[in-house]
Structure 1
Amino acid sequence: MAALPMLIACGSAIDARAQSSPPSGDEIVVQAELEKAERQVEALTREITRRPRTDKPISKRYSAVCVGVYGLSADFAHVLISRIEENARTLGIHVLGKGCQVNTLVAFTNDSRAEIERLRKAEPWLFETLLDYEYDRILRGNGAAQAWHSTQVKGADGKPFRTEMLPCPPACPPRAAEINDQAFASNISQQLRVDIEGSIVVFDNAHVPGKSIQQLADYASMRLFAPTDDVSNGAPGEMSTILSLFAEDGDAPDGLTAFDRAYLGALYKLPATARGAAIHDATWAAYRQGRYEIAGSSDTD
């Protein structure tokens, strides 16, 4: 029996030596690749994400979509809509059937900026939830595509706020207040979510030639279903995104890339109350799983 403690002690010494052995060359290479990819994913996530308003969660689509296309021939429009609807279903977004009222629009015009100014005057309801800086943000970039969302702040459970007139002394004017009247309240965590109620992407026809329907549909999907900006000078490093479709340098991918799918997948798995910063770690986790833990994955579909 005296030999047993000695065997255990020897085994412990062997384990300690094994654990302290230096990593192999392959392990060092993989670790370096992971660190490089993480930096690139973080940089690209920061570049494309439109920051939510102060103290508001990041917005996304909760209700069903009805996709419509304006300014494109019927055959091409059908293919474009089918691809966008496919992307929506992948994210768990319900798609309405024929005859629905369009709430997700893709338009093709000869002057995208002029079309937005026209819509602002003719259809002001499309812009009523935007602050001035958010409207100005629409017009940034090279004019190839403009995108924005109509949003509504709701309770974390999806219940709209209730409007209530506040009591006031006889001398002061009546005041309306928005009440977050949900079943479960918390003083610890934020009890809000931001719903994308409507989405619009306006393409400028001068920039469309040479782009495939899949490229246009996937680019539109990134802008319609997530609060994103395009990439004007190409993605950082070796990372690629369909949002570089109209970049001045570099070749655009054929469709949604591994990064794009990781970003969208991460966004739609985040809690409804998640702040904008949460998308950074979530995107890297989704990208790492898709690229480094699933054998045989490719950068684009």
Structure 2
Amino acid sequence: MVIARWGQGAVAGIVAILLAGGDARAQEGTASSPPSGEIVVEAQLEEVERKVETLTRRITRRPRTDKPISRRYSAICVGVHGLTESFAHVLIDRVEDNARELGIPVLGPGCQVNTLIAFTSDSRAEIERLRKAEPWLFDTLLDYEYDRIMRGNGAVQAWQATEVKGADGKEFATMVVGNPPREVQMNKQPFASNISQQLRVDIEGSIVVFDNAHVPGKSLQQLADYATMRLFAPTDDVSEGGGAGVPTILSLFAEAGDAPDGLTSFDRAYLGALYKLPPTARGAAIHDATWSAYRSANYEVAETAD
């Protein structure tokens, strides 16, 4: 059964995930406050910048060639499968609050689930089964993108269905050209630009599948915030080696090290930067934008005398 914020609802095909059982249990945690206004000298700041950039590159899924970085523009309807109702609503509330902070609209009563968080007994096997039983869920993925889903330690798999649109959010128009005639997709924008592509990539649906064997010991806040990073941004987890010296909730399932209680200062900087970038921004733009947001929230540079 899928539990949605305001009742029942699911996109056709996503229902296939509901065949997997499991009642993963977790307890709600408490938020941790990020550091703010720390004064550092320039040399220290350069080292922090290097670490932030390394982590940003590590987690960001590279966009397809010549395509902007993807993000969510339309409203979300969050559903949870595999948790008891009381736990599911706590999880949903947290994810929705995170979405609102990013300016992502949240649908109301009667909505159809387009953002699913599932808990299953074997996440990898479930994804393989879905690929055969419901291939349309993977229609927008290339082979290498599917391979990325299956990476990691098996604790969680995540992917997003995307659609390329015009920079103004309009879908491409279908036109018939040539002899013999053939259908082509046309991007009808009000103006052309030689500086930037007039494209954006919309996340139309997102799925995160947790493996029940890896859930014990994780709080609902940790699970919700981890899901937030995977649902609303094109990210990979940090399954080995931690976060390069920078805390991130994406290390929740890392084999070594203590995971943070929720979204960290880096995570909030990354998400905030992503959702402030222009729709046509390429993947590389997230690197400088994340560091700028992270530094602004956390550090002041100490003035040094000659």
TM-score, scaled relative to structure 2: 0.83
Corresponding residue SS for 1:269: coil
Rg larger for: 1
| Percentage of pairs with the same residue | 78
CA distance in 2, matches of 1:283, 1:225: 15
CA distance in 1, matches of 2:147, 2:284: 23
Corresponding residue SS for 1:202: strand
Deviation per CA, 1:91-147, whole angstroms, max 9, x where unpaired? 000000121000000000000011112222232221110011111110000110000
Deviation per CA, 1:170-212, whole angstroms, max 9, x where unpaired? xxxx422110012222233210000000000000000000000
Q: Aligned residue for 1:280?
A: 287
Q: Aligned residue for 2:230?
A: 223
Deviation per CA, 1:227-283, whole angstroms, max 9, x where unpaired? 000001243443110000000111000000000000000000000000000000000
CA distance in 1, matches of 2:266, 2:187: 36
| Structure 1 runs (4+) greater than 3 angstroms displaced | 234-237
Q: Aligned residue for 2:195?
A: 188
Q: What residue identity is the alignment partner of 1:159?
A: K
Q: Aligned residue for 2:204?
A: 197
**C-alpha spacing 1:236/1:244, structure 2 compared with 1 (3 Å):** closer
Q: Aligned residue for 1:269?
A: 276
Q: What residue identity is the alignment partner of 1:150?
A: A
CA distance in 2, matches of 1:152, 1:193: 8
Q: Aligned residue for 1:4?
A: none
More helix by share: 1
Shift of 1:51: 0.1
CA distance in 2, matches of 1:98, 1:259: 33
The answer to which structure, 1 or 2, has the higher relative contact order (CA under 8 A, 6+ apart) is 2
Q: What residue identity is the alignment partner of 2:74?
A: S
Contact residue 94 and residue 221 of structure 2 kept, 8 A: yes
Structure 1 residue 76 corresponds to structure 2 residue 83: no
Shift of 1:292: 1.0
Correspondent of 1:127 among 127, 131, 138? 138
Q: What residue identity is the alignment partner of 2:86?
A: D
CA distance in 1, matches of 2:186, 2:236: 32
Shift of 1:33: 1.9
CA distance in 2, matches of 1:185, 1:122: 42
- Larger deviation, residues 214-223 vs 125-134: 125-134
CA distance in 2, matches of 1:207, 1:103: 24
Q: Aligned residue for 1:18?
A: none
**C-alpha spacing 1:29/1:84, structure 2 compared with 1 (3 Å):** closer
Q: What residue identity is the alignment partner of 2:289?
A: A
CA distance in 2, matches of 1:57, 1:64: 20
Q: Aligned residue for 1:32?
A: 43
Q: What residue identity is the alignment partner of 2:124?
A: R
Contact residue 55 and residue 244 of structure 2 kept, 8 A: no
Corresponding residue SS for 1:113: helix
Contact residue 160 and residue 207 of structure 2 kept, 8 A: yes
Corresponding residue SS for 2:207: strand
CA distance in 2, matches of 1:239, 1:210: 22
CA distance in 2, matches of 1:254, 1:260: 12
Contact residue 44 and residue 235 of structure 1 kept, 8 A: no
Q: Aligned residue for 1:208?
A: 215
CA distance in 2, matches of 1:216, 1:256: 10
Q: What residue identity is the alignment partner of 1:128?
A: D
Contact residue 242 and residue 256 of structure 2 kept, 8 A: no
Q: What residue identity is the alignment partner of 1:261?
A: R
Q: What residue identity is the alignment partner of 1:288?
A: R
Corresponding residue SS for 2:205: strand
Corresponding residue SS for 1:253: coil
Structure 1 residue 93 corresponds to structure 2 residue 104: yes
**C-alpha spacing 1:187/1:29, structure 2 compared with 1 (3 Å):** closer
Which stretches in structure 1 are left out of the alignment for 5+ residues? 1-27, 295-301
Q: Aligned residue for 1:146?
A: 157
Structure 1 residue 60 corresponds to structure 2 residue 71: yes
Corresponding residue SS for 2:189: coil
TM-score, scaled relative to structure 1: 0.85
